[in-house]
Amino acid sequence: MRTIDMSTTPLRDLNAALQAQAAEQTEPTWEILNPRGSHAVAVGLDAPLAITIKGSTGYYCAGMNKQASIHVTGSVGPGVAENMMSGSVVVDGDASQYAGATGHGGLLVIKGNASSRCGISMKGIDIVVHGNIGHMSAFMAQTGNLVVLGDAGDALGDSLYEARLFVRGAVKSLGSDCIEKEMRPEHIALLADLLERAGADARPEEFRRYGSARQLYHFKIDNASAY
Partner 1 sequence: MCGIVGLFLKTETLRPQLGALLTDMLITMTDRGPDSAGIAIYGSDESDGLRITVQSDTPDLDFPLLAGRIQAATGGAVALRVIDTHAVLTVPEDRGEAVLAVLAEHFPALRVMGSGTSMEIFKEVGLPADVAARFHIREMAGTHGIGHTRMATESAVTTDGAHPFSTGPDQCLVHNGSLSNHNSLRRQLAREGIKVTSQNDSEVAAAYLTWRMGQGARLDEAMESGLKDLDGFFTFVVGTRDGFGVVRDPIACKPAVMAETDDYVAFGSEYRALAGLPGIDAARVWEPEPATVYFWER
Interface residue with partner 1, options 37, 44, 131, 169 (CB under 8 A): 37
Least distance from partner 1 to the Cβ atom of residue 83, Å: 19
**Mask of contacts with partner 1, 58-77, x by CB under 8 A?**
xx---------------x-x
Phi, psi of 74 (to 5 degrees): -110, -145
Exposure of 27 in the CB half-sphere (CA atoms within 13 A): 12
Least distance from partner 1 to the Cβ atom of residue 31, Å: 17
**CA distances (Å), origin 218, targets 124, 180, 223:** 22, 21, 11
82 forms part of the interface with partner 1 (CB under 8 A): no
97 forms part of the interface with partner 1 (CB under 8 A): yes
Least distance from partner 1 to the Cβ atom of residue 5, Å: 15
Rg (CA), the chain: 18
Least distance from partner 1 to the Cβ atom of residue 101, Å: 13
Q: Which residues of 1-23 are buried (b: 16+ CB within 10 A; e: fewer)?
A: eeebebeeeeeeebbeebbebee
Binding site for partner 1 (CB under 8 A): 36-38, 56-59, 75, 77-78, 93-94, 96-97, 115-116, 134-135
